Amino acid sequence: MSIKDKLSGNEAIATAMKQINPDVVAAFPITPSTEVPQYFSQFVANGTVDTEFVAVESEHSAMSACVGASAAGARVMTATSANGLALMWEILYIASSMRLPIVMSVINRALSGPINIHNDHSDSMGARDSGWIQLYSEDNQEAYDNIIQAIKISEHGNVKLPVMVCLDGFIISHSVENIEILDTNKVRAFIGEYNPTEYLLNTQEPVAMGPLDLPPHYFEHKRQQAEGIKNAKDIILDVAKEYEQISGRKYGLFEEYRMEDAEVAIIVLNSTAGTAKEVVDMIRENGAKAGLIKLRVFRPFPSSELKKALSNVKVVAVMDKAESFSDAGGPMFVEVRSALYGQESPKIVNYIYGLGGRDVRKDDILKVYDEMFWILERGTVDNIYNYLGLKE
């Protein structure tokens, strides 16, 4: 039976971790993710979990400890934000190349500089090519649900890759919402016991982990890593279907909101989807056909599925809460445009928004829809790359 509780996003993450009861958690505090290890360390101190909590002196050490523990055969979790994630950069690639199923919550925050502690997606978008699966969360409930599913996805034999579960710093991490928590026994039955097939402490079948990999084999190992990411798409859907049976909550690669006959649509990540849904409802009351796609999975990127979902849409706006400085659009825009390459329709525009925690209100989202309907009426796109809410 589910339990209703009022939890902040960080509490929801820590509660899921408590129910998972990982073997090892190594973490270093950084705003706004600090509360995750803070709450979890209390569970360790109270004996609620039997996790080995490793307090380290930096995020680089945190991820290094996670890699060592996971290679030894432990179920491992951690949390971080922004510059903490950047300090892990070198080790992120090592974790994924060693096919270690580490699960990390990333409480999205602007990456310095200039120094800023508020929300955008520059941290996780900077790590998008590190070989980690990336799940994004609209609200506290989805953050809780994603963390539990991430364990099962990462440990699947056809995947064996680390997963980062992303949620918006302060907007979600520090906001209290009513959420439904599963019974702990149900969570543990869902994720099951962790029984790695290859690990350093298995004296019966010794293996080498992380050796020098020169030209004769490095390329092949990267190809295998890419195959794991490719396999993940089906596993994510299978795990979601199984999770729906115990929770009643349905998840996919992305969520389609009022897309059944939409002529214009926004594609967006994380908490902005909640604001955008209200705007879609407002527009629909006036008879205009507006829709929304909220991406849940960014790595692997659901190209073919997105192409199908947008097949009848005439104008689409991709909203990026990160600037890639490519002069060719934000990171999600580039992925979506690549998925739609060669098609006449839909017309596509990009909006960079909310950097460094800049508020995004319903009026801002409404402006994007108004401009899409203007493009639909005129049939041409004047400005492909746009900034939303910028003081100029």
Per-residue pLDDT reduced to its tens digit, 239-251: 999 999 999 999 9
Mean pLDDT of 261-282: 98
Q: Encoding tokens for residue 318? A: 């991709």
Residue 1 has pLDDT above 70, yes or no: no
As a whole-number percent, the residues of the chain with pLDDT over 70 amount to: 100
Mean pLDDT of 336-351: 95
Q: Using one digit for the tens of pLDDT, what is the confidence trace for 79-126? A: 999 999 999 999 999 999 999 999 999 999 999 999 999 999 999 999
The pTM is what? 0.97
Three-state SS across 45-107?
HCCCCCCEEEECCCHHHHHHHHHHHHHHCCCEEEEECHHHHHHCHHHHHHHHHCCCCCEEEEE
Q: How confident is the model at residue 193, as a pLDDT? A: 97
Residue 2 has pLDDT above 90, yes or no: no
Q: How confident is the model at residue 300, as a pLDDT? A: 98
Mean pLDDT of 210-229: 96
Biggest CA pair distance of the chain: 70
As a whole-number percent, the residues of the chain with pLDDT over 90 amount to: 98
Q: What is the chain's mean pLDDT, rounded?
A: 97
Tell me how far the alpha carbon of residue 98 is from its chain's centroid.
Answer: 21
Residue 55 has pLDDT above 80, yes or no: yes
Q: Encoding tokens for residue 362? A: 């319903």
CA–CA dist 137, 107 (Å, integer): 10
Compute the chain's Rg from CA coordinates: 21
Residue 203 has pLDDT above 70, yes or no: yes
